[in-house]
Structure 1
Amino acid sequence: MTIDMQNGARTPSPRPAPSTPAAPSAATENSSQSISDAPEVDLATASTGKGDDGPKVASVEHAIEVFDAGFTAFRSLEGQVYVVDRHDPSARPVLHTGGSRSPAVALIAERILASHDKFMKGEDRAALGDYIGFRADKAAPRPVLLRSAWNGWRFIVDIGDDSGRVIVITAEGWHATDTVPPGVHLRRSSVTAALPTPARTGDLDALWTLVPVTEADRPLVLALLLSAWMTGTPQPVVFITGPQDAAKTTTARYLLRFADPVSNVRGRSLPTSEPDWKAAVNPYLVVLIDNVSGITAAQSDMLCKVSTGGEATARALYTNADTHITSLQASLWLTSIGVGALRGDLGSRLVRLEMPAITPERRRSLSELEAAQDAAAPAIMRGLLDLAVEVLGVLPTTDRTRLRHRLTDFEVLVRAIDSVMGTSGADRLAEQAGALAEDVLDGDVVAQALLSALEAGRIPDGRITPKGLLDTLTAEAERQGSARSTGWPRTPRILTDHLVRIGPALESAAGVTVTRGPKLNGVRAMIVAQHRPAVTP
């Protein structure tokens, strides 16, 4: 289908006819489950193909011929094997898990049954699975992405419906197409759902009547939705805060319908282990974590890893001979009544959306609100797509000097939206960064002791050894009653590492820098300097 950018008219596009009977066009990692879980054929009563009317048995040689004629196997950059129908331009890569019940093997077995009226026996399916793995090992690895592909100037977004179409967005316009551009492989998960169908005209103003987002935060919300499609770039950790009954979860769920809609009800608990994180991130472009009451140090580190992009490793096939690597990167949205104490590296990645309390005059029944949200979704979707086109038009010339947020790509995106809409999102982002840095220092006993010691003049010359600084800060913390805190560093090395972690917050919120200087009495000194406190924009 193509969509006229001027009037929104839709006209069907001819779809290339596959040279082999088409497989389901929206194949997903799990879409072949119903095939692979189908009852096994009883070989005792099945036809042998010698004159009766039942299906014949397909040999593994025949299955390999069908595979070679119509399919390609390759490994993703993480090492997983995928199979794709090369004659269907809208086909999604199908995961090959190995063995006779692999979704990829089931797809080919179904193709053989549909086109040749032959079924495959279990041992032949297993042999076909081995052949698929062999062919994948001979091919060059390719990136396999969920929902969206981004290359710096173009979005390719999977619509997520049964047609298999994608939306291609550039600075010249956007259109829906049956053909996925060459070299782009967009997988689906078991919960991938369809984006709202765009209306003829866009209306982003309708969005703000349905979600209680402050006017100052609106450009940040739009940037967060577009940023989710910028796969491969560091993503913000979004904290949606507000009092009880402020519609935090309802707001998050509705906003994510325009970036990464899913078929299940969003909102899980904060994962506590690396395997839990793998399960949480794999099906989603954006992960919604609901009702966060506290964040441990380990969870903070994992939030940072997933935000920036990292990997999780596990033993492959229960052996130490090889490892299975899973890429972990997603946009993370958390709802909470309050942020609480933050570690410095997490605080520098946060974008905070504060939900005001809903007054009785503004409160609506959930059914009424959902009906209004459904009615407005097509116009909002169109408005977001049109905004993406305009943003891509100005993004190459957007000012990239004096960037103040740790996630620089996100700040540039916010600046581009400001240029298009005449908003002040970049100033709001800088204001948030300063406030979050203060939150980090307020919840950090070492920072409080350091600031107190500087104010009292107990580090007069600014140069001090790590051990001397630890002794000074410990004495200061004892005066404050916090020296025995579980977070208090016990060695100079731990203190040095901690100061490095909170260094950006110290400089941003208090104008304090801690750097390594020349040796003092044979020991590398630390230089503690307090400049004029940073001015919050």
Structure 2
Amino acid sequence: MGNHKEHWPIESGHFRDFLSFDHYQAEGKMLSQAALEEQRRALKGQALFEGEEYPAFSRIGYLGRTVYVDLGNAAWQAVVVTSEGWQVLDHPPARFRRAVSQEALPMPQPGTGDITLLRKYVNVASDDDFRMLVAWLLGCFHPRGPYPILILNGEQGSAKSTTARVLRSLIDPANPMARSTPNSEQDLVIAAKHNHVLAFDNLSNIKPGMADAFCRIATGGGFGTRKLHTDAEESLFTAVRPCLLNGIPDLATRPDLADRAIVVNLPTIPASERQFEGEFNRALAQDAPRIFSGLLDAVSAALANLTTVTLTERPRMADFAKWVTAAEPAVGWPQGSFLTAYATNRTTSDQASVEGNPVALAILKFIAEEKRWSGTITDLNAALRNRYPHLTDDPNSYPRQLNRLSGAIRRVQPPLRRMGVSISFDRQGHAGERILRIESA
């Protein structure tokens, strides 16, 4: 840390720097180890119980209506972004903490921003898909969230890992850029404590428990676990973080995850068009400062326009949609083009989540034949299993317990509703028997 102590939050691990032997040698004194430890404890107590408190941020900070971005360099510089523009500060008022894995962002230059340069470093099939990647990046600069989960799908040779690395390098570079699948919610929480962006590479599937954890960390939620070296104390952590996932299979099969996600399917790159990694990295390093500067221009525009933006509709993740819409003028998009692209992306995600969900597919087929149906969950289960055994025979994908089936139906309600199928749960009769009502619009 050396000369940079002023940028760190007040924590017990940083006070040894304030009591150096050099200080006491200059005064002609030398403290014993016991006396030094006593002084350290005294200063620690003063700082914890009498000193000023400051919020400590990871990469992105927010004080008032000003955004601060830690550049991650040795000089501890940060970019300060307001509604009037942005500049690099040597001594920012925001305090940042850094993980050992954190790396430096490219040094931006005012007046040079050009977000369109990013297009040649990401593998997308359409302008709308490119808008979705830029929108996710812009959303990462919102310090409070919520943040949509970016999911990159594609075959081998579609540059999923490279595209993910490029995107993260423009907001929260780290070494490594992406990690393997987290084994538990606790692993996810630890990663969130030390990173602004959580990037996971080459996922083959997402277990239900981890899908729930990703949903909570994208929109905000608390996590609790037993504190280390204790039996009864609990360690609590509250976080909202942008997430970036990539894999070959469709990862957004759970409707609640798809509802919070931007899903981009990357096309396969022909062998004749693949680039040498060294040449690619050199070109990216040259253009990265201008791309990053363009993102900062857009963040400034979002701050300037946010209070005057009105959305024609309020989709899920409405705060994110409003933030990106406010930034549209700075990235050269026609007014409303983001919301149009976002709606198309959500429709595609709905279709993918239904196609990968046997319960949703069975209900969709059932109501296409019946048009309207009502009955108990027992009746529905019998009807679906009798008519569509190819969808309902696998106990790993189609729940056997009726309460689990009821929960699975509730999860698919939102995408099915957007596809024109209404599902409601009612009670009737003196016994309050629960009745499902399903109908096609």
TM-score if structure 2 supplies the norm length?
0.88
Task: Answer yes or no: is the 8 Å Cα contact 1:150–1:229 preserved in 2.
Answer: no
Measured in 2, the distance between the counterparts of 1:387 and 1:380 equals 11
Report Cα offsets for 1:327-379 as digits up to 9, x if no partner. 34321111212325611111111112332222344322111111111111222
The 5-angstrom pairing of residues 305-384 of structure 1 reads 305-340=216-251, 342-384=253-295
* Structure 1 pair 350–389 and aligned structure 2 pair: CA distance change class (3 A): same
Post-superposition offset of 1:287: 1.7
Higher-helix-fraction structure: 2
Q: Counterpart of 2:143? A: 231
Measured in 1, the distance between the counterparts of 2:150 and 2:64 equals 23
Paired positions, count: 434
- Name which of 121, 146, 158 aligns with 2:70: 158
| Alignment pair present for 1:434 and 2:434 | no
* Structure 1 pair 408–122 and aligned structure 2 pair: CA distance change class (3 A): farther
The 5-angstrom pairing of residues 85-104 of structure 1 reads 85=6, 91-93=7-9, 95-96=11-12, 102=13, 104=14
Q: Counterpart of 2:133? A: 221
Task: Answer yes or no: is the 8 Å Cα contact 1:26–1:161 preserved in 2.
Answer: no
Q: Counterpart of 2:2? A: 24
Q: Counterpart of 2:365? A: 452
Q: Counterpart of 2:431? A: 522
- Name which of 284, 298, 301 aligns with 2:209: 298
Q: Counterpart of 1:390? A: 301
Flag the structure with larger Rg: 1
Q: Counterpart of 2:387? A: 476
Measured in 1, the distance between the counterparts of 2:226 and 2:36 equals 26
Q: Counterpart of 1:55? A: none
Name the SS for the 1:320 alignment partner: coil
* Structure 1 pair 521–394 and aligned structure 2 pair: CA distance change class (3 A): same
Q: Counterpart of 1:148? A: 60
Task: Answer yes or no: is the 8 Å Cα contact 2:141–2:299 preserved in 1.
Answer: no
Q: Counterpart of 1:69? A: none
Post-superposition offset of 1:285: 0.8
Report Cα offsets for 1:456-494 as digits up to 9, x if no partner. 32x84x43233333333343343x452442233334432
Task: Answer yes or no: is the 8 Å Cα contact 1:146–1:186 preserved in 2.
Answer: yes
Q: Counterpart of 2:311? A: 400
Q: Counterpart of 1:512? A: 421
Post-superposition offset of 1:419: 4.6
Post-superposition offset of 1:417: 3.5
One-letter amino acid of the counterpart of residue 164, structure 1: W
Report Cα offsets for 1:482-536 as digits up to 9, x if no partner. 244223333443232222212111112x31222232414633433424343xxxx
Measured in 2, the distance between the counterparts of 1:311 and 1:116 equals 48
* Structure 1 pair 116–229 and aligned structure 2 pair: CA distance change class (3 A): farther
282-291 vs 423-432, which deviates more?
423-432
Q: Counterpart of 1:18? A: none
Measured in 2, the distance between the counterparts of 1:142 and 1:400 equals 35
Q: Counterpart of 2:324? A: 414
- Name which of 198, 213, 219 aligns with 2:108: 198
One-letter amino acid of the counterpart of residue 347, structure 2: G
* Structure 1 pair 521–494 and aligned structure 2 pair: CA distance change class (3 A): farther
Name the SS for the 1:403 alignment partner: coil
Task: Answer yes or no: is the 8 Å Cα contact 2:67–2:80 preserved in 1.
Answer: yes
Q: Counterpart of 2:395? A: 485
Task: Answer yes or no: is the 8 Å Cα contact 1:287–1:332 preserved in 2.
Answer: yes
* Structure 1 pair 24–348 and aligned structure 2 pair: CA distance change class (3 A): same
- Name which of 227, 245, 268 aligns with 2:179: 268
The 5-angstrom pairing of residues 204-215 of structure 1 reads 204-213=115-124, 214-215=126-127
| Alignment pair present for 1:494 and 2:404 | yes
TM-score if structure 1 supplies the norm length?
0.74
Output the aligned Cα RMSD: 2.7
Task: Answer yes or no: is the 8 Å Cα contact 1:195–1:258 preserved in 2.
Answer: yes
Measured in 2, the distance between the counterparts of 1:128 and 1:219 equals 56
Measured in 2, the distance between the counterparts of 1:216 and 1:119 equals 67
Q: Counterpart of 1:284? A: 195
Report Cα offsets for 1:28-84 as digits up to 9, x if no partner. xxxxxxxxxxxxxxxxxxxxxxxxxxxxxxxxxxxxxxxxxxxxxxxxxxxxxxxxx
Post-superposition offset of 1:321: 3.9
Measured in 2, the distance between the counterparts of 1:241 and 1:317 equals 37
Task: Answer yes or no: is the 8 Å Cα contact 2:156–2:248 preserved in 1.
Answer: yes
Measured in 1, the distance between the counterparts of 2:361 and 2:238 equals 37
Measured in 2, the distance between the counterparts of 1:305 and 1:363 equals 37
* Structure 1 pair 481–368 and aligned structure 2 pair: CA distance change class (3 A): closer
Measured in 1, the distance between the counterparts of 2:32 and 2:187 equals 36
Task: Answer yes or no: is the 8 Å Cα contact 2:9–2:55 preserved in 1.
Answer: no
One-letter amino acid of the counterpart of residue 209, structure 2: A
Task: Answer yes or no: is the 8 Å Cα contact 2:377–2:436 preserved in 1.
Answer: no
Name the SS for the 1:176 alignment partner: strand
Structure 2: state its 5+ residue gaps. Answer: none
Report Cα offsets for 1:290-343 as digits up to 9, x if no partner. 111111112212211221222332333522342222234321111212325611
* Structure 1 pair 454–230 and aligned structure 2 pair: CA distance change class (3 A): same
324-333 vs 145-154, which deviates more?
145-154
Post-superposition offset of 1:202: 1.8
* Structure 1 pair 443–317 and aligned structure 2 pair: CA distance change class (3 A): closer
